[in-house]
Structure 1
Amino acid sequence: MSIRLTEEEVKDIVYEDSEKYFLIDEFIDGTGRWHVHKSGIIQSEDNKNYMIHWSEAATEMQENEFWSQTAIEVEQKEIVVKEWKPVK
């Protein structure tokens, strides 16, 4: 399932001005010279979770960037990761 969001709706969600969706988690996807690319998990009034994307300005000379998008429904899953560590 997915929802369609306008640029203004994404902006309102990130700035916590939305009454319909709430940003519950965010993380950095990557960086560029002028922006930090972010993804976030939003929760709807019916407790469904969706992923959105936006870019935050890396300097005071740039502006944050938001765009219309289709947010896909997501769920949190536990993932086990194995790593190699030195023997003590």
Structure 2
Amino acid sequence: MDVNFEYYKIFYYVAKYHNFTKAAQALNNSQPNITRAMNCLEQQLNTTLFIRTNRGVQLTPEGERLYTHVLSAMEQFQAAERSWQTAPDYPMEV
């Protein structure tokens, strides 16, 4: 299974905000693109990740399980970015 990493990033924001539109705003994207990406992710994983309502979304048990892993990965990426930003600039040897 080769799932596009971007789908996991989008999933993280949808799960965080419980809303496709708010996730789209956070990602500077459109709500239809976010919805399409989450539909693709669900198809690729062959599971339902969200319970969709007119007031937003809730995670299914499968969605909760995936969110645990995605949250951990996102925290690691964010920590790496922070450490990169605070690292001293060393001259690059060629």
TM-score by length of 1: 0.28
TM-score by length of 2: 0.27
| Higher fraction of strand | 1
| Higher fraction of helix | 2
